[in-house]
Amino acid sequence: MCLDTIMISGTAGRNRKTVYLDNAASTPVDDAVIVEMIPYLKEQYGNPSSIHRFGRDTGRALQLARRRVADLIGARPREIIFTSGGTEADNLAIKGAALQARKQDPERRCIITSSIEHDAILEPCKALESSGFDIVYLPVTADGLVRPSDLKDTISKKAGRVALVSIMYANNEVGSIQPVAELASIAHAAGALFHTDAVQAAGKIPVDVNNAQVDLMSISSHKINGPKGTGALYIRHGVMLHPLIHGGGQEFLVRSGTENVHGIVGFGKACELAREKIGLYGAVRELRDYMVSKVLGGIAHCRLNGPDDQAKRLPTNAHFTFYGVNGEDMIIKLDEYGFAVSTGSACSVKKQKPSHVLKAMGFSYEEITGSLRITLGLQNTREEIDSLVQALSEIVGELRSLSPFKEKYD
């Protein structure tokens, strides 16, 4: 990806190129994806439900995209339901499974999830709780990992009443990769379905629905260099969900509404490219590790958060706490220097609330407010990381010098 050089005001006249390091929030759309989408914004504008040539052409494009998405996660095309994104896929999985279970067995009204899930899981769980469902939130370790023993203990206490277990594949803030296959096996032994939000994981690490033993899996296009507004839910053959959107019965009667054809075409191409490029994330992991060593070695009173075992962390993720500094102040200053980073989930930043993920991991208020998430993509380089670390060192030093507790960090 070509990065423009811009003049940043307020940085002593330095010329710096803009460097994007917030790939967990969204990723740049691949040029090949855009090229594939354009015909479906211009010439191929038919409704895929129509039976004339225009409709048949767009219908074939949907089926190709469905196969490409399925291939990325080891599924069958018929098991892929297109949605408007990861949030809708999560809602369809959680609410659809819960409502279907209640219809089949009124006693199965318990849903188990973790305390560090994305809001796209937590909010539908809250909605179901208000309508009589029993929601259990599993704790996590200081590394951000769910203990299988906690799930097993919880299920034993809710014998015969658990309809669904939903544990994310990898966390969007600290990058912790959960033992999904082991957790799914525990859920199945109790007769419950297992869903995983794989929005952060798919396309960055090998993800296979059969190896993971999941019944439901959510993925999103814009996390893997595809367009926004498109996602998918994998539904294992034989699993029934109660539809949330009723209408013409598109998407195998599970999700009605005319499909976002150009977005789905782009999503499919992005999945094809992600499958081809999955091996390149080894180099991203090396670059991430290089950045971590430079930050920890060059900036005092700094800590890396998440799993100590880097194999249990997404290759793109590094999450730090800088003591004595406010994370939002760092983001603003880094933006002035030409670096885009974040403190956590872009989907909940407007709520201006402390990270529920870090709270669940046992962080203090100071540790939460001093956090910074840096997430790399295939486009990032070592030169960019060197520039980032230099800028970060200057910024942390400047902000600490203004702190009323600066003596503590001298």
Supply the pLDDT for residue 4: 36
| Domain with 301 in it | 5-29+279-409
**Domain total in the chain:** 1
Which residue's structure tokens are 């297109």? Answer: 82
Q: Is 337 part of any domain?
A: yes
What's the half-sphere exposure (Cβ side, CA atoms, 13 Å) at 12? 2
What's the half-sphere exposure (Cβ side, CA atoms, 13 Å) at 329? 16
Q: How far apart are CA 396 and CA 111, in angstroms?
A: 43
Supply the pLDDT for residue 353: 79
Q: Is 320 part of any domain?
A: yes
pTM (whole model) above 0.75 = yes
Supply the pLDDT for residue 219: 98
Q: Are residues 394 and 296 in contact, defined by beta-carbon separation less than 8 angstroms?
A: no
Q: Is 296 part of any domain?
A: yes
Report the catalytic residues: 347
Q: Is 260 part of any domain?
A: no
Q: Are residues 48 and 262 in contact, defined by beta-carbon separation less than 8 angstroms?
A: no
Q: Is 382 part of any domain?
A: yes
Supply the pLDDT for residue 352: 62
Rg for the chain, CA atoms, rounded: 22
Residues of the chain by 3-state class (helix, strand, coil), percent to 5: 45, 15, 40
Q: Which of 157, 151, 150, 161 is nearest to 98 (CA)?
A: 161
Question: What CATH number is attached to the domain comprising 364?
Answer: 3.90.1150.10
Q: Is 177 part of any domain?
A: no
Q: Is 172 part of any domain?
A: no
Q: How far apart are CA 339 and CA 330, in angstroms?
A: 10
DSSP code per residue over 340-377: E-BSS-TTTGGG----HHHHHTT--HHHHHTEEEEE--
Q: How far apart are CA 167 and CA 202, in angstroms?
A: 15
Q: Is 247 part of any domain?
A: no
Supply the pLDDT for residue 345: 53
Q: How far apart are CA 286 and CA 376, in angstroms?
A: 11
pLDDT, tens digit only, all 410 positions of the chain: 333 333 333 343 344 579 999 999 999 999 999 999 999 999 999 999 999 999 999 999 999 999 999 999 999 999 999 999 999 999 999 999 999 999 999 999 999 999 999 999 999 999 999 999 999 999 999 999 999 999 999 999 998 899 999 999 999 999 999 999 999 999 999 999 999 999 999 999 999 999 999 999 999 999 999 999 999 999 999 999 999 999 999 999 999 999 999 999 999 999 999 999 999 999 999 999 999 999 999 999 999 999 988 889 999 999 999 999 999 999 999 999 999 999 865 554 555 678 999 999 999 999 999 999 999 999 999 999 999 999 999 999 999 988 766 666 66
